[in-house]
Structure 1
Amino acid sequence: MDVQELLARYAAGERSFHGIELPEADLRGANLGGVDFGRVNLSGANLTGASLSGANLSQANLRGAKLHRANLSEVILSGADLRQAALTTANLNESDLSGASLNDADLCDANLHMASLSAANLQGANLSGAKMGGVRMWKADLQWADLTGADLSEANLSEANLTGANLYATDMSETFLTGTIMPDGFIHL
């Protein structure tokens, strides 16, 4: 399947594209709300400005994908591979990224309000300026992540690992930190 066939079938009302292979696909600005992309291979794809709100991308391969300014609100990305993906200013409000791999991903200025990142791997991720109020990051791995200026107010970081993370100017008001490993290795009680 190529991009033109995918877009034509979507326009005709089809929504299930489970497991398709579209590495390096150019889907800039595409409107694919509610699509089922479970286990799809979109590694290296360009989804800049695309709208996938309400989509299923569970266990999808989005390694190195470009998702700048993409609308991913209420998207299921549980277990997805987003290593080295570019998600600057992306809208991930209320999305499920539990168990996702976001190692070295760029989420600068992304909106993750009320998202679930429980048990997600965010080692080395850039979350500077990210809006993460109310985010659930229970047992998330944030080692060496850059959270400079991020809003983590009312977030749940219980048992998360923040070893070596940069928390400069990060808003952590009313954040739950029970059992969290802080940047200096101290375990918050």
Structure 2
Amino acid sequence: MDRKELQIRYNAGKRDFAGLKLLESELLQLRLNNINFSRSDLRQSRLGRTHFCQANFEHSDLSESILWGSDLSEARMSHARLREVDLSGANLRQAQLVEVNLLKASLCGANLQRADLSGACLIEADLRPTADSRTNLIQANLQQADLSYGRLSGANLQGANLARAILRRANLGVDYRPGTWPTDLRGANLQGADLSYADLTGVNLEDANLQGADLTGTLLDQANLKKCGDAPGLSPATRLRTSRFKGEGMMAPN
């Protein structure tokens, strides 16, 4: 099926295209809201600036496809294969991306507000600087991912693997807007991560692994560092005013 035939059928009211094979297809700047592409093969396709609001891509393969600037708000994409996909500037607000494979994917500037990426593979993914307010990243694998300058305030990263991730100058702290709260990093693996000059004000880091992390110039005011244990990488430039460290509930030095 080519683009023309798909568009004709869609305009006639058909929405179920499950199991479709459209390798290297070009579906640019179309309106395909509510379409069902579940279990479809769309590898290496050009899908930029297309409206896929509330579309179904569950268990589909979109590896190496281009989806920059597309509207995928409220889309269902759980268990999809999105290796090396380009989602730069895409709208993924409230999208379901549970356990998706986003290895080396580009999500630079994507809107991930209230998106569910729990258990997702984001190894070496580019997430600069995404809008991640209240994003669910529980148990996500973000090893060596680039989240520098990201706005992650309110994201849930409980148990996430952020080993060697780049969070330089990222904002994970309280932004004091109504309905927002600090990022949850309880039990997260931040071993060897670059957190230099990041804002972790009020962040919950209880039981997180900070071994070898770079915290140069990091803001940790009122952060919960309980049960973190020794954290090599803490430097005199790190602000720890009113923070708890080593589970002692003590006032950390300024």
TM-score for both structures, normalised by structure 2: 0.70
Q: Does 1:181 align with 2:224?
A: yes
Runs of 4+ in 1 over 6 A off after TM superposition: none
> What is the match of residue 19 of structure 1?
54
Q: Please show how residues 136-155 of structure 1 align to structure 2 within 5 Å.
A: 136-138=171-173, 139-155=182-198
The one of 148, 153, 160 equivalent to 1:118 is: 153
> What is the match of residue 206 of structure 2?
163
> What is the match of residue 109 of structure 2?
74
What SS class does the counterpart of residue 9 from structure 1 fall into? Answer: coil
Q: Does 1:52 align with 2:87?
A: yes
Q: Does 1:83 align with 2:118?
A: yes
RMSD: 1.8
What SS class does the counterpart of residue 10 from structure 1 fall into? Answer: coil
Tell me the distance in 2 between the aligned counterparts of 1:124 and 1:73. Answer: 23
Gaps of 5+ in 2: 1-16, 31-47, 174-181, 228-246
- Give 1:9 deviation, angstroms: 3.0
The one of 28, 48, 52 equivalent to 1:10 is: 28
CA contact (8 A) 1:142 1:160 kept: yes
The amino acid of 2:135's aligned partner reads: A
The one of 143, 146, 159 equivalent to 1:108 is: 143
Tell me the distance in 1 between the aligned counterparts of 2:203 and 2:29. Answer: 42
The one of 52, 56, 64 equivalent to 2:99 is: 64
Indicate how the Cα distance of structure 1 residues 175 and 15 shifts in structure 2: closer, same or farther if over 3 A, else same: same
| Matched length | 188
CA contact (8 A) 1:180 1:188 kept: no
Structure number with bigger Rg: 2
Percent identical across equivalent pairs?
36
The amino acid of 2:27's aligned partner reads: R
- Give 1:82 deviation, angstroms: 0.4
Gaps of 5+ in 1: none
TM-score for both structures, normalised by structure 1: 0.93
What SS class does the counterpart of residue 151 from structure 1 fall into? Answer: coil
Tell me the distance in 2 between the aligned counterparts of 1:21 and 1:183. Answer: 41
Indicate how the Cα distance of structure 1 residues 132 and 187 shifts in structure 2: closer, same or farther if over 3 A, else same: farther
Tell me the distance in 2 between the aligned counterparts of 1:35 and 1:188. Answer: 47
Indicate how the Cα distance of structure 1 residues 161 and 104 shifts in structure 2: closer, same or farther if over 3 A, else same: same
- Give 1:183 deviation, angstroms: 3.5
